[in-house]
Structure 1
Amino acid sequence: MSGECHISSLVIHSRPDRVSSIVDSLSLIEGAEIHGGMDTGKLIVTLETESESQVVERINAIQVLDGVLAATLVFHHFEPLQERD
């Protein structure tokens, strides 16, 4: 098995009246997980992806969701995947 594992965290600032629909949309994005902030409209989200380009694609998809004011990358880490015996 070859490849990489990318873990990123984001803060997504949203319009308070659109939080529910944004949360619903985020649940459809592969590798996205919400960790809090629904009550304030500042969502804390992690992304797990296989490549840097997938990170960029998913952030771009989040930024264009109705009600999203900004999606800011806070942390990004990647490692090569190790083969398992």
Structure 2
Amino acid sequence: MSRECHISSLVVHSRPDRVASVVDGIGAIEGAEVHGGEEAGKLIVTLETETENQVVERVNAIQLLDGVLAATLVFHHFEPVPELE
């Protein structure tokens, strides 16, 4: 089975009074990174994972964070990782 690299982006809408804790919660999720939007409570988030199942698991984990109103998948791309000889 060949390895894959999955890159996804999300918009995460947070309650204004919980933005800091939502950013911290996202930062604790493996492969997740916040790239801005704290001022408006609409966070731009990327995920880097090895499988499609991991994308779904991490989106679900983000949706369950206290203070998250919505997490919407905006982009998803994957490609095989070349095997080194």
TM-score (norm 2): 0.95
Q: Which residue of structure 1 aligns with residue 58 of structure 2?
A: 58
Q: Which residue of structure 2 aligns with residue 34 of structure 1?
A: 34
Q: Which runs of 5+ in 1 are unaligned?
A: none
Count of paired positions = 85
Q: Which secondary structure does the structure 2 equivalent of 1:36 belong to? A: coil
Output the aligned Cα RMSD: 1.2
Q: Which secondary structure does the structure 2 equivalent of 1:78 belong to? A: strand
Letter in 2 for 1:56: V
For 1:4-15, list aligned pairs within 5 A: 4-15=4-15
Deviation at 1:40, TM superposition (A): 0.6
The share of aligned pairs that are identical, in percent, is 76
Q: Which runs of 5+ in 2 are unaligned?
A: none
Deviation at 1:84, TM superposition (A): 2.7
Runs of 4+ in 1 over 2 A off after TM superposition: none
Tell me, in whole angstroms, the C-alpha distance in 1 between the residues paired with 2:34 and 2:63: 15
TM-score (norm 1): 0.95
Q: Which residue of structure 2 aligns with residue 80 of structure 1?
A: 80
